[in-house]
């Protein structure tokens, strides 16, 4: 897992992260490259696919994962989703970060350097082979499964509605949000709830990350935010916001891979099972959720 546990002041993180947003750094060359780094791919004239002439990828070329031993997989995530993933003083930390590291350690793959993207850029980056696995508290949905594949679930969550602490908004269900200014992060399940359940009944604003949305909520320029329950709880503990209500959605998070990466998908699923069966999953959960 980790050489040592990483602790941080979450209030300090949210204060520092607010104005900066999330850095986007698409383009790590050599996805699924040979772990020895022989430099055959990423030579500067194949930047779009990041794998050069493909000689360093698995032999049959169908899924890039047939010969797993020593293969380096490039993970991608979207910081700003506390406590799953966030950037603290230049260090990427969080539940998803620790969990994927532990899961990959149970496989024959090697974990490469993390790519930090906006959430709605993750699936395109995966499809374009700029990254090989998504670890970003991504809900498994039928719509997403049309584009990518998921491992077995590793976390379950519902949706919550955040409002300003001591503010004028009182809401017990989604209908109470009608006519209000409502926000969510672009590409998330929360955005889907707003669009599908509320539609034109609210004035909706999409944000690149939830830190920016929470800041607007604290200033009173936004009335409510629809957000995953564990993340809502984390913000409520650190900022002047509170959970108005939570509603069941039956969501499950999974690591995302390309649809043709069957062996990587299976290896990560088996790694999840191994970590969950050991004490390591409980240790990671305890560290980030105090559960």
The pLDDT tens digits for 79-124 are: 989 999 999 998 999 999 999 999 999 999 999 999 999 999 999 9
Residue identified by tokens 């506390």 is 82
- C-alpha distances out from residue 84 to 28, 60, 99, 243, 246, Å: 22, 35, 10, 18, 19
What does the pLDDT read at residue 21? 41
Q: Give the 3-state secondary structure of residue 263.
A: helix
Q: Taking a C-beta distance cutoff of 8 angstroms, is the pair 163, 223 a contact?
A: yes
pTM above 0.85, yes or no: no
What does the pLDDT read at residue 28? 36
Domains and CATH numbers, the chain: 10-154+254-289 (3.40.190.10), 158-251 (3.40.190.10)
What tokens appear for 69 in the block?
A: 């031993």
Peptide bond into 22 cis (omega under 30): no
Distance CA 217, CA 183 (A): 9
- The H-or-E segment that residue 75 falls in is strand 75-77
Distance CA 173, CA 236 (A): 18
- C-alpha distances out from residue 70 to 29, 57, 259, 270, Å: 17, 11, 21, 17
Q: What mean pLDDT value characterizes the chain?
A: 82
Distance CA 11, CA 114 (A): 24
Cβ count within 10 A of residue 78: 30
Peptide bond into 145 cis (omega under 30): no
């Amino acid at each position: 897992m980790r050489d040592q546990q990483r602790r941080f002041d979450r209030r300090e993180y949210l204060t520092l992260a607010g104005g900066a947003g999330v850095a986007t750094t698409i383009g790590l060359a050599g996805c699924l490259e040979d772990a020895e780094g022989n430099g055959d791919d990423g030579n500067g004239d194949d930047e779009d696919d990041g794998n050069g002439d493909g000689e360093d990828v698995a032999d049959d070329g169908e899924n890039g994962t047939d010969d797993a031993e020593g293969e380096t997989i490039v993970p991608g995530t979207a910081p700003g989703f506390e406590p799953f993933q966030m950037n603290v003083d230049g260090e990427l930390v969080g539940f998803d970060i620790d969990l994927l590291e532990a899961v990959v350690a149970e496989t024959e793959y090697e974990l490469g350097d993390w790519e930090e993207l906006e959430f709605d850029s993750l699936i395109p980056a995966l499809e374009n082979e700029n990254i090989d696995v998504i670890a970003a508290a991504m809900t498994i949905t039928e719509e997403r499964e049309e584009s990518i594949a998921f491992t077995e679930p590793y976390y379950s969550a519902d949706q919550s509605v955040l409002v300003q602490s001591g503010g004028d908004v009182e809401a017990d269900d989604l209908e109470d949000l009608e006519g209000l200014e409502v926000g969510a992060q672009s590409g998330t399940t929360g955005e889907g709830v707003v669009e599908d359940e509320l539609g034109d009944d609210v004035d909706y604003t999409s944000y690149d990350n939830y830190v920016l949305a929470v800041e607007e909520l604290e200033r009173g320029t936004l009335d409510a935010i629809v957000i995953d329950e564990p993340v809502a709880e984390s913000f409520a503990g650190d900022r002047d916001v509170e959970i108005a209500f939570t509603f069941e959605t039956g969501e499950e998070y999974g690591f995302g891979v390309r649809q043709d990466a069957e062996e990587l998908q299976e290896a990560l699923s088996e790694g999840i099972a191994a970590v969950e069966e050991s004490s390591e999953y409980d240790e990671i959960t305890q560290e980030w959720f105090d559960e």
